[in-house]
Structure 1
Amino acid sequence: MTDAVPPRPLTDWLRRAAPQVPVGDEPVLVERISGGHSNLTYRITDAAGGRWALRRPPTGMVLATAHDMSREWRFISALAPTPVPVAPPVAYCADPDVIGAEFYLMEFVDGDVLNDEEAGHRLPDGPARRTAGLHAVDVLADLHAVDPDAVGLGDLRRPGNYLERQLRRWHRQVHESAVPDLSAVDAAHAALVRRSAALAPPESRIAHGDYRLGNLAVGPDGRVRAVFDWELAAIGDPLADLGWLIASWGRPGDPVPATVSAPSLAPGYVDRDELVARYAERTGRDHPRLVADLDVYVAFARWRMACIGAGVYSRYAGGVMGADDSDAGASRLAAVQRQAEAALAALGS
């Protein structure tokens, strides 16, 4: 499917803006490799058989303030010279007339993206699975060690507390969705506002916003080769990233499902408490205090997943996802309620 990235206009643009990409008389080959509810990623194959990756916003209805391609581009460009592994940036296009939307091109990074339970079995059971969790935490610690001012992102700071801003933003956004019953979402929001007010003032660091194995490329040894999907990145509270990772890290026998279908449900992956201990060790944080505060961040992760799910449900309800997706829409609606209720439970409310 190339409607979202027409090959001929893209090829003409590459010839002008990215001379390092070999193009010939025929258009480059365009293949979608991920996406659907978030920004879309495409594999671009050039005239010499080289591979590149292109990111563009989703087609159809999207919620306000989402899918800012220039923001993604800024983060990967700023982080490329740091220890944080990102796909090297190539070129950015702000002109929506080229393919119908803004987009950017980056180098293609070979690696396995472990985005669900089935994918978790692709790594061989043994050291690689253990490494995948521990190295993911090491990379997260490296990200949180980056000084936003030193890499040119300091102007993205916003006044006030990060969690307070996030709670306001997502609460406003979820009330613009098509979800008919937001009572559980609202109750979890009120509890989070109360609990987050008692937290110590956070550091101001780069927060990825969706840090989990499903947004990382790992090698066969389990080591992270690249961090993808920077659309939710901000200058904010680093513990929000850790809470998001922990909420997504499902383990066999969990009484409450993870926020996503988790590769860590396969045998051989480390448990959540080891991830938290590793983060404390790598960042120098006080481990008991980190554990004591983390329930708020895990609850926030679950609540925010409910808000994100509301946006996805709205696309189903608006018919953007197709006329035959009523069952999927109902499933999305149930997931919104489930995550909001799980957030309340995590807070003891």
Structure 2
Amino acid sequence: MFLKKDKILNHELKKTRESFFSKIKNLFLKKSKIDINVIDHIEEVLLSADIGTKTTIKIINNLETRIRKEKYKDSKEIYNILKEEIGNIFLDVENICLEKKIEKRNKKPYVILVVGVNGVGKTTTIGKLAFFLKKKGFHTVIGAADTFRAAAIDQLEIWANKAGVPLIKQHIHADPASVAYDTLQSAKYKKKDVVLIDTAGRLQNRISLMEELSKISRVMKKIIPDSPHEIILILDATTGQNAFEQVKKFTSFVKISSIILTKIEGTAKGGVVIGIMDQFKIPIQYLGIGEQLQDIKVFDGKKFIDNFFEYR
């Protein structure tokens, strides 16, 4: 039996909904009229959801201002205002889907650099994204430029084979920039549509990682002058505020175009999505929602919010 997309999303985000948004929902359902303490309760729930202090304060201030200005007292009205204020955070971030950006580019290939710390599901996500793009009709190739770990190359090869997408690789400790160069050269010659370049995730050594990414970019420009066209950051949703810190560190030395959030189905910390989009204005392109090849879905901010703010 197949479920509709909104029901599938509802199921996948169950833990986040029950731990965070249901607290807000229950708070309002128990009150027909709003008392002076309700704002404090809302603030507590927002903070407990890993939204982050700055974004929580912003939401609360906007909520208080509108309540005073518009004289709202009914719980359902204020519930809807809260939904609207959180929804506005998503509307403020321009999110052009990756497929459209690939189609819009006249010259091939569209080069995507994939970054993220070890353990966030980067290798798995690259395999899923390659499969997703292949299903959309894009001829894709993967470059195994994370040469720091032998396991990274081997795992990526397994996922590339599963996706039915070619992989360009060298040996462990090979120059990552050399792998990227070979991948782009091959992709350009074979007229591939998309290149996905994996990179090492040694964030604890930020200086060497920054230098490595800079070198990869410089070498790729020798083949395709305006590459990379996209830098995607992979984040593990289960890490909550730690994911927020990873965005902060990566954006300090590289321009992140978009985010893929993994393991969303196994976390109660989905509120970090709201904080990241508010503080960094970086769109979330996809959600990783399982371990299977097809377990990647386009992120829809409106559906994300509607899923939790269904007033009953």
TM-score of the aligned structures, taking structure 2 as reference length: 0.22
Larger proportion of helix = 2
What TM-score do you get using the length of structure 1 for normalisation?
Answer: 0.20
Structure number with bigger Rg: 2
